[in-house]
Every structure is written in structure tokens, then in C-alpha cells.
Amino acid sequence: MSIRNLLFLSALLLNTACSSDLFIEHNGNMPEDRYLQRLHVGQSKEEVYELLGAPNLTTALSDDHWIYMSSTIRRVAFEKPKELDRDVVAVTFNNNVVTRIDKRTLADANKIKIDSDETKATEREQGFFRKYFGGVGQYQMFGDGKNKKEM
């Protein structure tokens, strides 16, 4: 077998080995549709918790927004991951009673355009020596001696 054929065979084996690295990844914990259909405005937090379980996310400042979500992502070898499916249910409470239910899918997602504008920093750029040696001699381990009590 020649070197050329050996290299071709090696490349073919590597290509087929890498291309079979297909992973379908499921994230989140979306309640089943039969439970989501029983969810309605006017239920208490306790009823929602018993029906759907603990939410995936809550807001940091209050416990009035519960989010249940799941997504399916396809990963193939070295390709960029692709989201195949996404489901989100947001439940809003007021005085521990459901006031709003929002259901979203991947089709409802908005593409966000990143703005290229920059905010200029107002601080002055320091030079190398000021940046790395500017504080030398300014640190006093035992204080500056001004706060000593006189005896």
C-alpha cells in the first residue's frame, strides 16, 4: 500500500469518525402539556407548585415571576451548536395569585442585533510606570501615625 493510499484511508476514517459525533441535548424541565392545560389565572402559588413543581428560574428581587423552560440543542462534532426547539412558560403572581401566563416557543424569539457604538471612558489612561509603580511607598502597614492617642 502506498503512502498516498494510506493517507487517503486515514483521512477517510477520521472524517467518518468525527461526523458521527451527533449529540441531541435536552436542557430544562418543562412540565407536560396535560399539567400546563390545568394552569389558569387565579390559582395560588401553592396550587401552581403542586401542579407544575418548582420553577427553573425566579427573579432575584421577588418571587412573583416563575419561569419554566426547556430547549433541545443539536451538536455535531466541530460545528456550532444549533437550537432545535425551545419552550418557555412564564407565570406572574400578584399577592400569591396567578395574574398572567405567557407561553413562548423558539419561533417567538427575537434576534438581537449587537450595537457597535462605544462609550468612551472618562478616566485618564495611565502610563506603564504610573500603572505598575504609582502606589509604591503609599501603603503604610501600621497606619500613618495621625490617629495615635496622646498619653
**Could you read off the pLDDT of 51-80 as tens digits, one per residue?**
999 999 888 788 899 999 999 999 887 888
Q: Is the pTM of this model over 0.75?
A: no
- Residue corresponding to grid cell 498516498: 4
The CA-atom distances, in angstroms, between 3 and each of 12, 15, 25 are: 14, 18, 40
The residue among 87, 83, 65, 66 whose CA lies nearest residue 74 is: 83
The residue among 82, 84, 87 whose CA lies nearest residue 67 is: 87
pLDDT at 35 over 90: yes
The CATH number of 21-108 is which of 3.30.1450, 3.90.105, 3.40.390, 1.20.1440? 3.30.1450
R_g of the chain, CA atoms, integer Å: 29
DSSP 8-state code for residue 40: -
Average pLDDT of the residues of the chain: 81
User: Do residues 49 and 35 make contact, with C-beta atoms less than 8 angstroms apart?
Assistant: no
